[in-house]
Amino acid sequence: MSSSATHHPRFIKYMSENKITKLTPEQQILIPFYREKWKKIALSTERINKDRAAEAVELLYDLICKEKPTILFYESPYQALNQSFNKEWGGYIGFLDDYLRNQFRNQIESSLWRTIWEELNDKIVYELWGIWYLNLWFFST
């Protein structure tokens, strides 16, 4: 069916008057099959056919009589977010990445220095106490 046919008032009227309100027994039997089919599609990690995907999006926009969007494809969700944030907010992901790295480093450094200080402090106090005690014992006798 051509996209111009879907914009025709008779097509729109036909679609609104012929809504499905009840499934046939045969359709009900097929529900688990289609549920599994679409679940596999939704959870698939296979690469998509970009041309077919773009075609489908453009067809849907034609059906709702809206201007076709610019369709962008990325290798990963991270890349899409990074590109979007770089474009929209001038590198927010980079800023967030730096901020999180600094927070992590500060927490590790703080914890590490606290542990080192406690260990050294205990040793220093123990050694100073020993020196003081020995000096006290030697000089008092």
Q: Are residues 20 and 32 in the same domain?
A: yes
pLDDT confidence band for 87 (50 / 70 / 90): low
Q: Are residues 60 and 126 in the same domain?
A: no
Q: Output the six-digit token pair for 64.
A: 């709702």
- Number of independent structural domains in the chain: 2
Q: Which of 36, 54, 73 delimits the end of a domain?
A: 73
Q: Domain span at residue 27?
A: 1-73
Q: Are residues 2 and 68 in the same domain?
A: yes
Q: In which residue are the tokens 């008092």 written?
A: 140
Q: Are residues 116 and 136 in the same domain?
A: yes
Alpha carbons within 13 angstroms on the beta-carbon side of residue 109 total 6
Q: Following DSSP, what letter does each residue of 83-125 receive, concatenated?
A: HHHHHHHSSHHHHHHHHHHHHHHHHHHHHHHHHHHHHHHHHHH
Q: Are residues 94 and 135 in the same domain?
A: yes
Q: Which of 73, 103, 120 delimits the end of a domain?
A: 73
Q: Which of 21, 40, 73 delimits the end of a domain?
A: 73
Predicted pLDDT at 114 = 79
Q: In which residue are the tokens 């992901």 written?
A: 93
Q: Are residues 17 and 61 in the same domain?
A: yes
The per-residue pLDDT for range 21-75, each reduced to its tens digit, is 888 999 999 999 999 999 998 898 888 899 999 999 999 888 888 899 999 898 8
Predicted pLDDT at 110 = 78
CA-wise closest residue to 63 among 122, 15, 134, 132: 15
The answer to whether 63 and 6 are in contact (CB under 8 A) is: yes
